[in-house]
Structure 1
Amino acid sequence: MTEYGYFLASEEHGPAALVEQARMAEQAGFTSLWISDHFHPWSQAQGESPFVWAVVGALSEATSLPVQTAVTCPTVRIHPALVAQAAATCALQLGGQFRLGVGSGEALNERVLGDRWPPATVRLDMLEEAVALIRQLLTGRRITHHGKHYTVENARLYSCPDRPVPIDVSGFGPAAITTAGRVGDGFVTTAPDRAAVERFRKSGGGSKQVRGGVQVCFGPDHEEAVRTAHALWPNIGLPGELGQTLPTVAHMEQASRLVTRDQIARQVVCGDDPDAHVAALQAYADAGVDVVHVNQIGPDQRAFFDFYRTKVLPRLTR
């Protein structure tokens, strides 16, 4: 049976708000948490970007739900050895209920130190080496590694969980999905795409978990909800690789001006029709996604959790 979790949007909310949303998510009946890992938001309107590892630590004290980053880029801005240390600590804080979600990243976040932004093929090669290195370090053994992209000398994680931290890999295009199937403990996606799920499984993913994310905008006025979603998350409508290659918030905003309200209305479930929300989540289940994480766009979080607790989740979990 598909499970349903809540997706904490670090781009839109500060650390205290994210922790409070996690509490409300648990009370509403969601069974796990995703949290995004960004250095910048996608737009000024979103306006937040707390350090994800500090927030995960707070989540471990605020709820009993499993937590996953969705997703961390362990290749450019943060060295994979440091990601391994962060993941190990989070796994200990959460009693083993932590999954590391990784991806090849976006220039928006990863070029802040002035690093070169490689083409997608190189980024996937870096990701594959980073995942292998993180796994080695999570064994707790002393590691020396001289690879194509990364060097580690005499590194050992002393605070390390007894069990390996699962590492799920995000993918959108065919090459990234194939990489996820080959090296991931699971697959991360933000679309109800059965073909992508099947590619992951045929590329080595087999019966491993597929974990998805979807954004909605609950509210009593459908048109107002569409306006809110368009004002805060127009970047949802950006096509192709723009989200991975545009380097600044200003560039994202410039490109997002081409995204219309009608486009967002077609892509994001807005309003308070339970049937529409159930159908959007059921599409992920029908595509073969094992765990679906829902994010509420906008400030009306408490009403969203009440709506899902009473009108949506009971119809999905029975």
Structure 2
Amino acid sequence: MTRFGYTLMTEQSDPRDLIRDAVRAEQAGFDFEVSSDHYFPWLDSQGHAPNAWVTLGAVAHATERVELYTYVTCPIMRYHPAVVAQQAATLGLISGGRFTLGLGAGENLNEHVVGRGWPPVNVRHEMFHEAVEIIRELFGGGYVNYKGEHFRVDSAKLWDIGDQPPKIGIAISGDQSAELAGTLGDVMIAVEPEAELCRLFDQHGGAGKPRVGQVPISWDPDKDKAIERAHDQFRWFAGGWKVNAEMPGTAGFAAATQFVTKDDVAENIPCGPDLDAHVQAVKEFVDAGFTDVAVVQIGGDTQPEFLDWAERELLLALKEL
């Protein structure tokens, strides 16, 4: 049976609201909650970017049942992988074993802040592979020494880690990342409803492991308002991930998407009150073979009303899938 999740989108809400919404989403009946981990919003109009780890620690304390994910953390520049492993182990304990560490190769938008420049994609993939190896070794509980092309670890050890360390989810977009996810990961993460990604994951050792997707929606009783909000805050998606990973700041995303129209957004994101349209967007992931699907409701100030609607209608319809 497919499980359905809720997205704590740090780019569009302050941490106090995120914690409030996390509690309400659990009450509404969502199975899990995923949190973005950004230093910047995609566009200035989103207006927020609190620290995901501090926020998730509070969410873990405030909730009781839902599983929690970073969706996703980049462990190659802004955080050293040894620090990510420590944060994840701590959050695993605080949450009572409900935390999965979602990892990805990151975006210039969030990683440039440490002043080291943004490496080319092949170097980033090398760094990411080493980072996952380090985190996996540290989750083993012993002392770790590691000397790679990009990272060194000197006698590191996690002193507070549960009997079962957090599961590792890895974001994939093609064969190379699918191989890493299948061999070193416990969970596949993707943002496109592509059956081919699931097939590649299975081919590289992922058969039987969860695969988690995410879909944006803009629910609102007023369709025009829903489209306006999605265009204002979510048109950044139009460049695709190969472009999005390279853009250095919100001004760049605004300029790159200045010719994306409201019609373009409405064709790609379900907008308005039509329950069937929102369910169909989720169903694409279910049909592609995803075991878990998280929804992103666009608009920070719409979350309370959205969660009431999700409890009344959306989740009931999704569980009929």
TM over 0.5: yes
Matches within 5 A, 1:181-196: 181-196=182-197
- Could you tell me how far apart the structure 2 residues matched to 1:200 and 1:261 are? 35
Matches within 5 A, 1:215-226: 215-226=216-227
- 2:34 corresponds to which residue? 34
Matches within 5 A, 1:226-245: 226-239=227-240, 241-245=242-246
- Could you tell me how far apart the structure 1 residues matched to 2:67 and 2:289 are? 21
Amino acid at match of 2:318: L
- Could you tell me how far apart the structure 2 residues matched to 1:164 and 1:96 are? 8
- 1:268 corresponds to which residue? 269
Amino acid at match of 2:222: D
- Could you tell me how far apart the structure 2 residues matched to 1:117 and 1:32 are? 32
Give yes or no for the alignment of 1:300 onto 2:302.
Answer: yes
Secondary structure of the residue aligned to 1:300 is helix
Deviation of residue 180 (structure 1)?
Answer: 2.3
Deviation of residue 240 (structure 1)?
Answer: 5.0
Q: Is the 8 A contact 2:92 2:165 kept in 1?
A: no
- Could you tell me how far apart the structure 2 residues matched to 1:215 and 1:175 are? 26
Q: Is the 8 A contact 1:87 1:100 kept in 2?
A: yes
How many residue pairs were aligned? 318
Q: Is the 8 A contact 1:128 1:183 kept in 2?
A: no
Amino acid at match of 1:3: R
Length-normalised TM-score, structure 1 = 0.97
- 1:137 corresponds to which residue? 138
Q: Is the 8 A contact 2:10 2:37 kept in 1?
A: yes
- 1:18 corresponds to which residue? 18
- Could you tell me how far apart the structure 2 residues matched to 1:182 and 1:259 are? 39
Give yes or no for the alignment of 1:311 onto 2:313.
Answer: yes
Deviation of residue 221 (structure 1)?
Answer: 1.2
- Could you tell me how far apart the structure 2 residues matched to 1:235 and 1:182 are? 32
- 2:47 corresponds to which residue? 47
- 1:290 corresponds to which residue? 291
- Could you tell me how far apart the structure 1 residues matched to 2:182 and 2:261 are? 35
What is the RMSD of the two structures over their aligned residues, measured on CA atoms? 1.2
Secondary structure of the residue aligned to 2:286 is helix
State the identity as a percent: 39
Residues 217-239 of structure 1: per-residue CA shift (max 9 Å, x gap) = 11011121011001011101123
Residues 107-155 of structure 1: per-residue CA shift (max 9 Å, x gap) = 0111111113122222112111111101111222111111111111111
Matches within 5 A, 1:134-213: 134-213=135-214
- Could you tell me how far apart the structure 2 residues matched to 1:257 and 1:122 are? 31
Amino acid at match of 1:101: G
Structure 1 regions of 5+ residues with no counterpart? none
Amino acid at match of 1:78: Y
Give the direction of change, closer, same or farther, for the CA distance of 1:13–1:174 in structure 2 (3 Å limit).
same
Residues 253-273 of structure 1: per-residue CA shift (max 9 Å, x gap) = 111213221121111111111
- Could you tell me how far apart the structure 2 residues matched to 1:303 and 1:39 are? 27
- 1:246 corresponds to which residue? 247
- 2:123 corresponds to which residue? 122
Q: Is the 8 A contact 1:43 1:253 kept in 2?
A: yes
Deviation of residue 245 (structure 1)?
Answer: 0.4
- 2:86 corresponds to which residue? 85
Deviation of residue 186 (structure 1)?
Answer: 1.3
Matches within 5 A, 1:92-103: 92-103=93-104
Moved over 4 A (4+): none
Q: Is the 8 A contact 2:136 2:184 kept in 1?
A: no
Length-normalised TM-score, structure 2 = 0.96
Amino acid at match of 1:258: F
Residues 51-102 of structure 1: per-residue CA shift (max 9 Å, x gap) = 1110011001111211000000001111000000000000000001100000
Residues 164-207 of structure 1: per-residue CA shift (max 9 Å, x gap) = 21111102244333332332211111111111211221122112
- 1:73 corresponds to which residue? 74
